[in-house]
Every structure is written in structure tokens, then in C-alpha cells.
Amino acid sequence: MRREQLTGVVLAGGRARRLGGIDKGLLAYRGRPLIRYALQALEPLCGEILINANRNLADYRRFGHPVVPDALPDFQGPLAGILAAMQQAETPCLLVVPCDSPRLSATLLARLPAALDDGHDIAIAHDGQRLHPVVMALRTHLADDLAAWLAAGRHKIDRWAGRHRWTAVDCSDHPDAFLNVNTPEDLHGTR
């Protein structure tokens, strides 16, 4: 898939309850804000990048990409951020990553949109043990279906994806790439 067909999305719109509500994307990990790692992984692959954030919007704008808040109120989870990005994107596909996975790389992420070329609508990373539903590529034509899913009060990514042509993308050769920074130990690299 060509760069101009792909919009990157960094999900930074959560409440970060496990870190005391601190906005994770702005926290320093090994001397850099966590969101920098996500942007660095997406930039070689995507013609446009959007940052989904619901707090500290001015701080996120400083990273040089449009900031898109959730279209729905009350922090309704990653699907709400994905929907907001789908409604904003001008490309046929999104490549989605969380702001708190600093070990993801462009090389690994490139596997996801490649899987869409095989006729799938959604491609989700699988580390050999489990799926990582917030590391995904998907087609933007699914926006209306996703909006209806959320309007019905549903929020589970895997259940929504399961209703469509989806595939698990083998990333088992890099299981450590899916570290999520959720605790102070993660943040300081002691885990």
C-alpha cells in the first residue's frame, strides 16, 4: 500500500487510570515523550498522521500533526478515537497505534496495511500469544458501521472487528514490540 493511501493514527485519548490519570502520550520514556515513538514508527509509512487526544490538545498540537478529539463524550475507549480519525481521514485506510507502545517500529507496522491488500478490511497485530487490537490497519469505509456499533453502547474492538473481513497479522518474531507503558515500572524501564 502506498503512503498516500494511509493515514496514521496515534491513540492518546484515554484516561490512563493505571498511571493515576496522567496523560501517557506526554510522559517521558527514556528521555522522549511516549508519543514521539509512535510518530516515529508511523512517519515512514503514512502520508498523513492524526493524533487522537481528549486532553492537553495544545501540547499534542506541538508535535506537528492534526489533533482529533473523540467524536463521542466521556472517554468511550479506543474505538471512539478510531471513529474520530476515520471521519477526519481522507485516505481509504488507517494505521492505528497506541501512544504507549514505544517499541513498535515502522518495519513491523508495515505488515498490517500489507494484509489489507489481501482483501481484508481489518488487520490486527498478533504477537504469537495474543491479539493487540489497538495495533491495527483498517479501511475507512467502515466508519458508518463503527458509528452504529458505538451508538448501540458497544465498545469491544475484537467483537466489532469480528463482524468484518479481518485477519491476524503474525508479529511473533517481535513479541517484545508490544510493551504497553501502564505502570511506573514500565515507564522507567524496570520491567
Each residue's pLDDT tens digit, 67-126? 999 977 776 789 999 999 999 999 999 999 999 999 999 999 999 999 998 889 999 999
Instruction: Transcribe 100-120 into DSSP letters.
Output: T-TT--HHHHTHHHHHHTTT-
* pTM > 0.85: yes
CATH label of the domain that carries residue 110:
3.90.550.10
**Known binder of ligand: residue 100?**
yes
Is 94 labeled as ligand-binding? no
Does 11 show up as a binding residue in the annotation? yes
Per the structure, the complete domain to which residue 122 belongs is given by 3-187
Distance CA(1)–CA(188), nearest Å, equals: 36
Residue 189 pLDDT > 90: no
What percent of the chain clears pLDDT 70, i.e. is strictly above it? 90
52 is in an annotated binding site: yes
User: Mind listing the pLDDT tens digit for each residue in 147-176?
Assistant: 999 999 998 999 999 999 999 999 999 999
Residue 117 labeled ligand binder: no
Q: Check whether 176 is labelled as a binding-site residue.
A: no
Tell me whether residue 13 is annotated as binding. yes
Q: How many domains does the chain have?
A: 1
Return the axis-axis angle of helices 143-151 and 78-88, rounded to nearest 10°.
140
How far apart are the C-alpha atoms of 49 and 85, rounded to whole Å? Answer: 10
Dist CA 120 CA 111 (whole Å): 13
